[in-house]
Amino acid sequence: MRLTEIIHVKPSEHLTNLCHLAKNLYNLGNWYIKRDFFNLNNILSYYDLDFMVKRKNAYRNLPSQTSQQLFKLLMKNWRSYFKAIQDYRKNPQKYKKKPKIPRYKKKNGESIVIFTNQQCKIKDGNLHFPKRVNLEQIRTIIKEKLKEVRIIPLGINYKIEIVYEKEEKDLGLNNLIKIVLFKGVISR
């Protein structure tokens, strides 16, 4: 099962800069998608978008897997928009207004940053970020398999979500039979 540890941290220059760079890349990707959508009536795929932007500075300013995760998030936002439009056409009474396309982030704003389990590591109870981003390690209680780390700007501080996989305990056949029998006795 997937679980998340949430840690709130105070702003730092490195965190602010990282989230600002993520916002720049998000807006650049959104610009490419909007351009193709409105000018060519074409919907870019994730792979096309990644190929088109890969050599741009906004892409290279972040670790490549982080850039790819941002594009996956952007594509998810666009898919949600198209689903909402289809549903709006079938059931307009469910909506107050027509759904709008994904917007650009504010010029001085920030965006979520996502690191994969290949970029971040947990060693000796500390979460280590990629060296390239210059973030300090963070103390964590997690000992299980790390899935991803998300840095979410909240305005006055940042929320770091550490997503990890924890194996569910197998009840076993004997314990399951005992539970069924026990419940059967109570129901009489």
**Closest C-alpha to 22, from 160, 153, 155:** 153
Interstrand relation of 113-116 and 145-153 (parallel, antiparallel or unpaired): antiparallel
- Burial class, 107, CB count within 10 angstroms (exposed 0-12 / middle 13-18 / buried 19+): exposed
Q: What are phi and psi of 27, to 5 degrees?
A: -65, -40
Whole-number pLDDT of residue 57? 96
CB hemisphere CA count around 149 (13 angstroms): 24
Whole-number pLDDT of residue 167? 84
Tens digit of each residue's pLDDT (9 = 90 or more) over 89-128: 999 999 999 999 999 999 999 999 999 999 999 999 999 9
Give the tokens for residue 174.
């004997």
DSSP, collapsed to helix, strand or coil, labels residue 37 as: helix
Provide the whole-model pTM: 0.86
Tens digit of each residue's pLDDT (9 = 90 or more) over 10-49: 999 999 999 999 999 999 999 999 999 999 989 999 999 9
Q: Where are the domains of the chain?
A: 2-186
- The rounded distance, in Å, linking the Cα atoms of 150 and 69 is 10
